[in-house]
Amino acid sequence: MNEVTLYTKSDCHLCQAVGQVIARAARQRAFGLAVRDITQDAADFEKYATEIPVVLVNGREIARFRLDLADLIKALDEAGSEN
């Protein structure tokens, strides 16, 4: 199963919008979701402090700041065909 990872932090309006896109995608495709709060991990904070939200599919970055539903579905479909 594909894994979507969202790097986020509290009070991030862009993160909330991206989270809504991910929720819509979950109604169309099955995948696991890991939400990582960058303030809880020093390495994540160092890497993404001013770059969130960041979305990965199976460890491959597909979006930064904004996410289009069609782009996420395409990434999930492509990742699924690689498995």
The tens digit of pLDDT for each residue in 11-63 reads: 999 999 999 999 999 999 999 999 999 999 999 999 999 999 999 999 999 99
Of residues 67 and 81, more confidence is placed in: 67
Mean pLDDT of 70-77: 97
> Residue 75 belongs to what domain range?
3-82
Instruction: Examine the pLDDT at 69 and tell me if it is beyond 90.
Output: yes
Confidence at residue 79, expressed as pLDDT on a 0 to 100 scale: 94
Q: How many domains does the chain have?
A: 1
* Residues comprising the chain, all counted: 83
Instruction: Examine the pLDDT at 81 and tell me if it is beyond 80.
Output: no
56 burial class (0-12, 13-18, 19+ CB within 10 angstroms)?
A: middle
Structure tokens at 4: 């979507």
Domain of 30, CATH number, reads 3.40.30.10
pTM: 0.94
